Amino acid sequence: MTDAVLSLIASSSLLILSQLSPGPDIFFVLRTSLAQGYRAAIAVATGINLGFCLQAIIVCTLGTQLARQPWICWVLAAAGLWLLHLAHVIMPPSRIRAHLAARRSGRSQEASSSLFQDAPAQQQPPGTARLLLRGFLCNILNPKCMLFIAGISIEALARHGTQHTWFAPALVLSLVGAAQLGWMLWSGLMQLPRMQRWYARSAFGIDAVFAALLWLFALALFIPLLKEASALIF
């Protein structure tokens, strides 16, 4: 029971941290927050979360069934490969080299502050329904989101889903709740000028931590396949 609860907490925490990493969802929410205010950003985030909820239900439902299959180790390994790819996209060697070169030359660490530059002037936001729809389409048309959910949750489903009937729905609720909480938190914080400057300065460090966590999750997903391989060899 304790391990299952800790798995829920770990997956939810990684999800909240991941929301600060570059991607269409966070870019859309932050740009809306900066340009149109907190309420508009929450409407967009809620639409994104509706799509996220649908994808999480699909992953967790199929994941529970996959956990009973003998070839689940290959599914876990595929999810692990995706997490490694995502970590590479977020923190490629070229970005690390550019960051180190910038630090040696004393220049600005990142051009990430461009996220906050040239934000559109305050304007009357579209209606709530339109913002919800835009957020929903932004998420549901991004298949990478489903792969990411699988990457952070399918190993936990394989471990706890067959033991606890409540685990899969609890995982969906915890992920969706964490996603909405994260969007509300980041949207609110981005209204503060000091937070805007901090995020611009810290974008590299945030992404580096997230990429490291993805590596750890990915390596954990390879463990069942390694066990199967060692059983065949020995």
Distance, CA of 80 to CA of 223 (rounded, Å) = 10
Report pLDDT for 121: 45
Q: pTM score, two decimals?
A: 0.66
Instruction: Put residue 21 in one of left, alpha, beta given phi > 0 → left and psi -120 to 50 → alpha.
Output: beta
Residue 49 reports pLDDT greater than 90: yes
Distance, CA of 178 to CA of 175 (rounded, Å) = 5
- As a whole-number percent, the residues of the chain with pLDDT over 70 amount to 85
Report pLDDT for 113: 43
Q: In terms of pLDDT, which residue wins out, 122 or 98?
A: 98
Confidence of residue 63 (pLDDT cuts 50, 70, 90): low
Report pLDDT for 52: 92
Distance, CA of 84 to CA of 218 (rounded, Å) = 6
Q: In terms of pLDDT, which residue wins out, 43 or 110?
A: 43
Confidence of residue 211 (pLDDT cuts 50, 70, 90): confident
Residue 117 reports pLDDT greater than 50: no
- As a whole-number percent, the residues of the chain with pLDDT over 90 amount to 9
Q: In terms of pLDDT, which residue wins out, 101 or 213?
A: 101
- The residue with tokens 């609720």 is 173
Which of helix, strand or coil describes residue 172? helix
Among the residue ranges 7-16, 80-89, 95-104, the one predicted with the least confidence is: 80-89
Mean local confidence (pLDDT), 32-46: 87
Q: Tokens for 227, please give them.
A: 């066990």
Residue 135 reports pLDDT greater than 70: yes
Angle between helix 24-36 and helix 167-189 axes, rounded to 10 deg: 40
